[in-house]
Amino acid sequence: MTILVTAATGQLGRLVVESLLKKVPAEQIAVAVRSPEKAADLAALGVQVRQADYAKPETLGAALAGVDKVLLISGTDMGERVGQHQAVIDAAKEAGVSLLAYTSVLGGDDATFALADDHKATEAAVRASGIPFVLLRHGWYTENYTAQLGTFLEHGAVVGSSGDGRVASATRQDFAEAAAAVLAGEGHANTVYELSGDTAWSFSEFAAAVSAQAGKPVVYQDLAPGDHLQVLLGAGLPAPLAEVLVDVDAGIGRGDLAHTPGDLSRLIGRPTTPLADSITSALHENAQ
């Protein structure tokens, strides 16, 4: 059996490979990466390193040759990634893979924010391919917020436009372990997993937790969407990205990312990482 992880030198992909190495022999793991030199450490462990680029379909056939299971980690090129994902799906079908797992978005077709549209289209393409599939619908990464702790502490505020909306976030490590459990296990074909943290939190609660641990006042400042957009633009974010973030906050306000069905903790066999623990780790890293 050969398990292939795409985008394996990215933040999520590398964690998936590390989790797989605890479950299956290295020679049963392959990675598809744009720059093989970035996966030299994985090659040294016995992992098969294959060059592939979502945007270059001609590279995908060789990368997927002889593969049994594939994890398609969603691309980052908004506006281009549906076509890129389709190219990987087509190559997987041509290669005769027995299972295709895709990292989608929590709620799937029920998600109401625009960022979910590419995932909805990819899910439809996965289903249409006829390949046995697993949809790993990811909620938000806790790191989306803990990575900004320095800014929050500097300004004494977490700024957003989600009102009292809640986020059932989990860490990349949590999501990676779930993917590894599916890829290394059996009985997951044609299954949809709604993956999220065990507990949904509000941004007021997040700010209070940061403040308590850091010993500095931090509050949540809820803005009107237009004002939030101007803050993000003023911070130097490109307009398309700023607009996406404001739209996601609107979705959070509608409850899109608050679901806590427990699929993630069941797959990884433990509770998801508590928000407080993630804040502690991030503060420690910032202090180094």
Domains of the chain listed by start with CATH number: 3-140+171-195 (3.40.50.720)
Question: 49-57 long-range contacts, Cβ below 8 Å, gap at least 24?
Answer: 50/4, 52/6, 54/6, 54/81, 54/84, 54/85, 54/87, 54/88, 55/80, 55/84, 57/87, 57/90, 57/91
* Dist CA 238 CA 228 (whole Å): 14
Q: Where are the alpha helices (DSSP H) in the chain?
A: 11-20, 40-44, 60-64, 81-95, 117-129, 143-146, 149-155, 172-184, 203-214, 225-234, 239-253, 263-268, 275-287
* Dist CA 123 CA 40 (whole Å): 32
Q: Residues of 16-48 as b/e, b for ≥16 C-beta within 10 angstroms?
A: bbebbbeeeeeebbbbbbbebeebeebeeeebb
Q: Rounded to two decimals, what is the model's pTM?
A: 0.96
pLDDT for 79 equals: 79
pLDDT tens, residue order, the chain (288 aa): 999 999 999 999 999 999 999 999 999 999 999 999 999 999 999 999 999 999 999 999 999 999 999 999 999 888 789 999 999 999 999 999 999 999 999 999 999 999 999 999 999 999 999 999 999 999 999 999 999 999 999 999 999 999 999 999 999 999 999 999 999 999 999 999 999 999 999 999 999 999 999 999 999 999 999 999 999 999 999 999 999 999 999 999 999 999 999 999 999 999 999 999 999 999 998 776
pLDDT for 286 equals: 79
Structure tokens that stand for 200 in this block: 């949904």
Structure tokens that stand for 93 in this block: 């079908």
